[in-house]
């Protein structure tokens, strides 16, 4: 990062002031709070220190910690350099050009950023691009990839920031339930000030039943697929139409399908079988309707849960992709897609 003085928005009011024209109403005035947490960094530190030679163990431990510090600098420098050239992150505060950006936490394994909601998905894309290139030496080995789980929440800028940080952190921890040492993101949009103080899993349980709390990783999105995720959601909107999707979502809710396997199917096998059949019948009809609308087959597979692109455990919860599309589309489409060729396959 070349030497340059950065002016930043003084508060969250200034961060969302004078938004770009043409934003969806539910995006204007909103923040995106992003929390990332390293995958297994504590265990990696322990592996570094676990050496028959105390001296070598200390050296390995120190090399790993220094690499994490270096990676933190790469993350921040890369984001600042990129945002400086992105109009959606530039604003005015007391007549001075400023970056619409705030760091709430930066140290160790955990990092928390705040940007305007209309730039949240693009910001996460760039962050994922940077994370994909990070390396660190573990236990004396050559530098190996290190990965992070991330949470991102969209909410009104007047919501208590401590609550929003907690929600983003909870989403990042839920993302850790998605198996594998890879970059996973969970995203949630809050519509209203009174929702920010609730636990994300409680909110999801209200929609999908108690059992979704036992599968918090189900909502995970692959960081390496961020460009494809944004492109697919836009394609879904163009081909299927929001009104059609809202009708099917409302139908699922009205018929009790939205909760899928009910609140506690394990104690009632007959109920489990009934809800499984009803859910599958609903998904089959939904898929047939999408085909009638000339939605491409691969996109149909995403919307009906056969492809886990929009929810890591869509096979168990096949309406999660539709939920993600309808609750997040405005935030995804708030800004145009970047050229995937320029995004290194991981960001936008």
Q: Which two tokens stand for residue 40?
A: 């297994």
DSSP category for residue 20: P
Return d(Cα 201, Cα 205) in angstroms, integer.
Answer: 6
Q: Is the pLDDT of residue 45 over 50?
A: yes
Residue 123, pLDDT score: 97
| Chain segment 115-163, per-residue pLDDT in tens | 999 999 999 999 999 999 999 988 767 788 999 999 999 999 999 999 9
Return d(Cα 10, Cα 95) in angstroms, integer.
Answer: 12
| Chain segment 332-342, per-residue pLDDT in tens | 875 433 333 33
Longest Cα–Cα distance in the chain: 68
Q: pLDDT confidence of 234, banded at 50, 70, 90?
A: confident
Q: Which two tokens stand for residue 170?
A: 């909870």
When pLDDT is averaged across residues 5-23 and rounded to a whole number, the result is 91
Q: Which two tokens stand for residue 65?
A: 């910690």
| pTM beyond 0.85 | yes
């Amino acid at each position: 990062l070349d030497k340059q003085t950065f002016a930043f928005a003084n508060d969250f009011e200034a961060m969302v002031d004078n938004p770009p024209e043409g934003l969806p109403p539910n995006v204007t005035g909103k923040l995106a709070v992003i929390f990332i947490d390293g995958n297994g960094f504590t265990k990696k530190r322990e592996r570094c220190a676990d050496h028959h030679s105390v001296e070598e163990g200390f050296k390995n431990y120190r090399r790993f910690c220094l690499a994490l510090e270096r990676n933190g600098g790469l993350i921040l420098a890369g984001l600042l350099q990129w945002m400086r050239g992105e109009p959606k992150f530039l604003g005015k505060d007391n007549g001075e050009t400023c970056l619409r950006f705030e760091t709430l936490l930066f140290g160790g394994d955990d990092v928390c950023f705040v940007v305007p909601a209309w730039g949240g998905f693009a910001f996460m894309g760039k962050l994922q691009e940077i994370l994909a290139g990070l390396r660190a030496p573990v236990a004396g080995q050559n530098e190996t990839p290190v990965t992070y789980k991330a949470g991102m929440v969209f909410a009104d800028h007047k919501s208590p920031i401590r609550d929003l940080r907690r929600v983003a952190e909870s989403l990042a921890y839920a993302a850790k339930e998605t198996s594998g040492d890879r970059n996973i993101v969970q995203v949630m949009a809050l519509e209203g000030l009174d929702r920010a103080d609730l636990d994300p899993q409680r909110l999801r349980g209200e929609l999908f039943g108690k059992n979704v709390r036992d599968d918090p990783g189900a909502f995970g999105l692959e960081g390496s697929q961020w460009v494809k995720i944004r492109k697919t959601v836009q394609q879904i909107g163009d081909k299927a139409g929001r009104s059609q999707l809202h009708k099917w979502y409302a139908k699922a809710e009205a018929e009790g399908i939205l909760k899928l396997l009910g609140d506690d199917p394990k104690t009632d096998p007959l109920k489990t079988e009934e809800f499984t059949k009803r859910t599958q019948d609903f998904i089959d009809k939904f898929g047939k309707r999408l085909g009638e609308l000339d939605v491409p087959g691969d996109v149909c597979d995403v919307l009906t849960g056969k492809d886990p692109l929009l929810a890591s455990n869509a096979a168990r919860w096949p309406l999660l992709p539709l939920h993600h599309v309808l609750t997040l589309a405005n935030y995804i489409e708030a800004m145009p897609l970047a050229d995937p060729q320029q995004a290194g396959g991981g960001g936008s």
